Structure 1
Amino acid sequence: MIDTKGRSLELFYIDGHPDGMITAELFNWTGHVFVTPRTRLTEALKREEAGYAGVYLLLGEKEGQDFAYIGEAEDLGVRLKQHAAASDKDWWETAVLVSASANRLNKAHVKYLEARLIVMAREIGHTPLHNGNAPSLPGLTEADIAKMEAFLGSLMVVLPAIRVDMFIQRSRPAGSSRPVPTFEAAETDTDHAITQTARFILNKPRIDLTAKAVFQDGEFIVEAGSQARSEWQRQDSVQAGSYRPLHDELVRSGILQMAGTHRVFTKDYAFRSPSAAAAVVFGHSVSGPAAWKLESNPEVSFRDWQARQLDAVTEKDAST
């Protein structure tokens, strides 16, 4: 069952700007998240929470690709000093320290959190890890395991808010997108019906390529079995804002696999926008709102469909 309750998150920009040191806390959660650029490490290690037990993420790039390391320590500051001096970890630029208020996490707790985070990151596959073999889970009581899983659940709410998205699962089991009504089907009930879901199709007849997607719950989900260009088109490979890294990530993770002359989606995949979805399918940047067409009426683009939704909302408000 999906938890739809709102959560209250407090971000505090210690330096007064979002690229500096940040703390993040959820209301009614004992966890504490502290983010620091590597360039501010001297100031960061003076903070009280830097001496707590916890887990940490080292984030950066290696060979042009996002890269990360996940670790645990009884004293986070001591461990970060070691990493800052290590010659094999010159790539990291940001550290994320996760602890609990009043230093409530013990060694077994943080080892459990480290092991679970490594498994989660590798299962999702967004970001390669510098870690070697995954550590085994320590022996915790049933009650402590429940506490740590609840702790992880809250942490997964906080991390995307501080722009750490390596734990966001965008792939879904094939066929997981629910059947939804089209715009036209909803319109049969009223001239001003509003529907938040619809099915769309993307075609490139010249190369016999077709993809289908569902827009539901605010996500643009390309369905398993949809086709995509086998390789990214070279002329678009170096443009700013290119979706090539996303295309490469889906190939690397097995979401896109070769089948004949094209690749196919092996799972449903939720994109952040119609443009991201269209770019991955076509192998080059493209205006997704114009390219995706309503499956039941190819004369209507996603842009047209969305405009109708907005018009319906305006008309509804005007009549109340």
Structure 2
Amino acid sequence: MIDTKGRSLELFYIDGHPDGMITAELFNWTGHVFVTPRTRLTEALKREEAGYAGVYLLLGEKEGEDFAYIGEAEDLGVRLKQHAAASDKDWWETAVLVSASANRLNKAHVKYLEARLIVMAREIGHTPLHNGNAPKLPGLTEADIAKMEAFLASLMVVLPAIRVDMFIQRSRPAGSTTSAVTRQTAWVNERSSDLEPEFTLKYPKYEIEAHAVLQDGEFIVLTGSRLYPCWQGKEGTSYHPLRDELERGGVIRCEGQSAVFVKDYAFSSPSAAASIIYGRPANGPDKWHQVHSGITYKEWENRQLDALPTEDAAE
């Protein structure tokens, strides 16, 4: 079941701009997230929370792709100074420090959080890690495990808001999205607009056909959809790294003269999905067609907007 309750998040731009030092806190959560660019590390380590126990993320690029390191420390500032001086970690550009108000996390807590974050990052596979073997979970009481899992759940709300998306799980088990039976019933009753609309994209030259649904604001390409077997666009274009990531993460698999989605996958937009399927940049709103009506995604979207009530100009 999807949690539809709203959450209140406060971002404070310490330097007055979004590329500087940032603090992030959720209402009614003891956690505290502090982000600093490496260029401001000296000022960042003077802050009180830099001396707290917690976990941290080092983010940057290595050999042209996103790279990260996840660690824990009883004193975050001391550990960050060590990393800044280490020759094997010259690649990181941003540090994210995660602690709790009043320094409430102890050594066992932060070791648990570190181990869980490493496992989560590797399972998702979005960003390669500099870490070696994953540390073992420390022995915590049942109550402390529940607290740390709740802490992690809130942290997963905060991190995407500060542009850390390495823990966003976009792939889904095959068949986990709205069932075909439900969609077929909706078409028969001519009420598909009341449920998640389904779209199809065809690439006749290569006998490729893909299906997707718009569900809870996500454009999800369904398992079994076909796509071009490799990237045929220019090297380094925006969706090229995503194509490589989907292959690495086991979301798509080559089969003969094409490839196939073996998991459902939530894309950020119809164009992102279309570009992966074509193997080159593509205009998704024009390429995808609604199954029920045959109109393009763009036309379908315009109909939804036109159906919105408008205020009487005379009022």
Q: Could you say which TM-score interval applies, normalised by the shorter chain?
A: over 0.9
Aligned partner letter, 2:260: V
Conserved 8 A contact 1:194-1:309 = no
Does the alignment pair 1:307 with 2:306? no
Q: 3-state SS of the aligned residue for 2:280?
A: coil
Conserved 8 A contact 1:195-1:309 = no
Aligned mates of 1:281, 1:131 — CA distance in 2: 33
Aligned mates of 2:17, 2:169 — CA distance in 1: 29
Name the structure 1 match of 2:48.
48
Conserved 8 A contact 1:196-1:215 = no
Aligned mates of 2:307, 2:228 — CA distance in 1: 36
Aligned partner letter, 1:312: A
What is the deviation of 1:197? 2.1
Aligned mates of 1:194, 1:207 — CA distance in 2: 31
Aligned mates of 2:156, 2:42 — CA distance in 1: 28
Aligned partner letter, 2:248: R
Aligned mates of 1:152, 1:46 — CA distance in 2: 26
1:286-305 matches, cutoff 5 A: 286-298=282-294, 300-305=295-300
Aligned mates of 1:243, 1:223 — CA distance in 2: 19
Conserved 8 A contact 1:37-1:93 = yes
The alpha-carbon distance between structure 1 residues 112 and 134, as it changes in their structure 2 partners (threshold 3 A), is same
What is the deviation of 1:194? 5.6
Number of aligned residue pairs:
311
Q: Cα deviations across residues 217-245 of structure 1 (Å, max 9, x unaligned)?
A: 111000011111111114x3244xx2111
Name the structure 1 match of 2:14.
14
Conserved 8 A contact 2:224-2:260 = yes
Percent of aligned positions that are identical: 72
Aligned alpha-carbon RMSD (Å): 2.0
Aligned partner letter, 1:275: S
253, 256, 261: which one aligns with 2:252:
256
1:158-237 matches, cutoff 5 A: 158-179=158-179, 181=183, 185=187, 188=190, 195=194, 197-234=196-233, 236-237=234-235
Conserved 8 A contact 1:198-1:215 = yes
What is the deviation of 1:177? 1.1
TM-score normalised by L of structure 2: 0.94
What is the deviation of 1:252? 1.1
Aligned partner letter, 1:296: H
Runs of at least 5 residues in structure 1 that lack an aligned partner in the other structure: none
The alpha-carbon distance between structure 1 residues 251 and 188, as it changes in their structure 2 partners (threshold 3 A), is closer
Aligned partner letter, 2:10: E
Runs of at least 5 residues in structure 2 that lack an aligned partner in the other structure: none
The alpha-carbon distance between structure 1 residues 304 and 181, as it changes in their structure 2 partners (threshold 3 A), is farther
Does the alignment pair 1:61 with 2:56? no
261, 277, 281: which one aligns with 2:277:
281
Aligned mates of 2:266, 2:236 — CA distance in 1: 24
Aligned partner letter, 2:252: L
Aligned mates of 1:213, 1:181 — CA distance in 2: 12
Q: 3-state SS of the aligned residue for 1:297?
A: coil
Conserved 8 A contact 2:187-2:292 = no
Aligned mates of 1:274, 1:81 — CA distance in 2: 43
Q: 3-state SS of the aligned residue for 1:210?
A: strand
What is the deviation of 1:263? 1.2
Q: Cα deviations across residues 35-80 of structure 1 (Å, max 9, x unaligned)?
A: 0000000000000000000000000000110000000000000000
TM-score normalised by L of structure 1: 0.93
